[in-house]
Amino acid sequence: MNKINLAILGLGRIGKVHAENIISLNECNLKIIIDPVSDFDNNFTDLGIKQSKHFDDLLNENDIDGVIICSPSKYHVSQIKSLSELTKNIFCEKPLGLSIEEILDVKSLVTKKSLNLHIGFNRRYDPDFSELKRHILNNEIGDLHMIKITSRDPAPPPISYIKKSGGIFLDMTIHDFDMVKYLSGSEIAELYVKGGCFVDPEIEKANDVDTAIINMSLKNGVLATINNSRQAVYGYDQRIEVLGSKGVLKVENKLLNKVVKGTKEGFISSNPQNFFIDRYEQSYKKELLNFVQSIKGDIVDYADADDGLHALKAGLAANNSLLNNTPFLV
Query: pLDDT at residue 61 above 70?
Result: yes
pTM of the model: 0.94
Average pLDDT on 68-72 reads: 95
Give the span between the Cα atoms of 278 and 271, in whole angstroms.
Answer: 13
Is CATH 3.30.360.10 what the domain over 124-279+305-329 is classified as, yes or no? Answer: yes
Spatial separation of the C-alpha atoms in residues 24 and 3, rounded to whole Å: 13
pLDDT of residue 302: 95
Mean pLDDT for the chain overall: 94
What's the whole-number mean pLDDT along residues 99-124? 94
d(CA 143, CA 136): 9
**Residues 156-170: tens digit of each pLDDT:** 999 998 988 889 999
Of all helices (H) and strands (E), which one includes residue 322? Answer: helix 305-324
Is 1's pLDDT higher than 80?
Answer: no
Q: Which has more confidence, 60 or 1?
A: 60
Q: pLDDT tens across 175-224, in order?
A: 999 999 999 999 999 999 999 999 999 999 999 999 999 999 999 999 99
> Where do the H-state alpha helices sit in 51-137?
55-59, 76-83, 100-113, 127-137
Count CB neighbours of 20 within 10 A. 15
Question: Position 215: which residue type?
Answer: N
Residue 114 pLDDT > 80 = yes
Q: Which residues, listed in sequence order, are joined to residue 216 by a DSSP beta bridge?
A: 191, 224
Q: What are the residue ranges spanned by the domains of the chain? A: 4-120, 124-279+305-329
**2-18 tens-digit pLDDT:** 899 999 999 999 999 99
Distance between terminal CA atoms of the chain?
44
The fold of 4-120 is: Rossmann fold (3.40.50)
pLDDT bin (cut points 50, 70, 90) of residue 41 is confident
pLDDT at 124: 97
- Give the tens place of pLDDT for each residue, 256-303: 988 988 899 999 999 999 889 999 999 999 999 999 999 999 999 999
Strand partners, 191: 216, 328
- So what's the pLDDT on residue 166? 87
Mean pLDDT of 130-150: 98
Helix (H) or strand (E) holding 287, with range, is helix 281-295
pLDDT above 90 covers a percentage of the chain that reads 86
